[in-house]
Amino acid sequence: MSTTTAGTRHEEWIAARRSYVTAPQGPLSLVLTSWSPAGAPPVDEVEAREGHPDDAVFTRLRRDDLETGLPQEGYRIWRQDSPAQQAFEGIEYYDYDPSWILEGRFELVDEERVIPFEHIKDAGATRGLPVSGDLVFEVDGTEYRLNAFDTDHGGTWKLQLVFGDRTNGVESYGAGRFLFLEHPGADRALAPGDSIPITIDFNRAIVPPCGFSNQMNCPLPPLQNRLPFALRAGEKRVRYADGFSL
């Protein structure tokens, strides 16, 4: 792919990202995430909508309670008149850099492997996420092996990499960034020990949803995913109007 074509596609991706984060169910619209006590029934939608306009979007959630393991029912309210939507000015980006498109490999370790990830709103507790394999790549002659978990992203099976680097809190979002990759097992059967070539384009690194709404509970980079160098590619951070904070 020529540099011009790649640059054009990157600009199209940036435009699509803006459309996504500002959408009716984009992260900027999320104003409330509420959880019932573990084992309790879900809150009635009419009750949950009290105080919100008719065009607010209501969605339900479910997770396992960290202490009891019992199912926990939750819901979210999304509003396009949210304070974050009104204060949003844009996403800051690094310049497109083809040198951050790396050829690596995905090594399937164990389809049942689960690794604990700390989440931003869980006060240091961890949630086990399925990490069936490792992402392996080199930067300046040094090999790095990172954990990317298996996830359903927009109806497609993906690898989600949650990583940190030396730009966090200085140039980029402080809690780390995300990168979604095509899962090598999405269109073929894999077995433990398989090593599949994979392209890792860090120009597609993004600010996590918690950078757009304080009602999101994002996973944080585990120690093994914290890179010891500055990775200047992809999204840096969200820019809001002066005086606004999440």
Pairwise CA distance, residues 64 & 70, whole Å: 5
Please give the pLDDT value at position 1: 61
Closest to 178 in 3D by CA, of 156, 209, 214, 199: 209
The C-alpha angle with vertex 30 and arms to 27 and 34, in degrees rounded to 5, equals 130
With a cut of 80, say whether residue 202 has pLDDT above it: yes
With a cut of 80, say whether residue 2 has pLDDT above it: no
Burial pattern 44-60, b for ≥16 Cβ within 10 A else e, equals: eeeebeeebeeebeeee
Pairwise CA distance, residues 61 & 50, whole Å: 18
Domain parsing of the chain, residue ranges? 27-79, 90-240
Pairwise CA distance, residues 145 & 226, whole Å: 10
What integer is the mean pLDDT of 166-193? 93
Q: Encode pLDDT of 104-136 as tens digits.
A: 999 998 878 999 999 999 988 999 999 999 999
With a cut of 90, say whether residue 186 has pLDDT above it: no
Single-letter residue type at 206: I
DSSP, residue by residue, 31-56: EEEEEPPTTPPPPPHHHHTTTS-TT-
Pairwise CA distance, residues 246 & 244, whole Å: 7
Pairwise CA distance, residues 171 & 162, whole Å: 17
Q: Encode pLDDT of 43-62 as tens digits.
A: 999 999 999 999 999 999 99
Contact 136, 201 (CB under 8 A): no
More confident residue, 55 or 152: 55
**Half-sphere exposure at residue 244, Cβ-oriented, CA atoms within 13 angstroms:** 18
Q: If you search the block for the tokens 């949210």, which residue do you land on?
A: 82
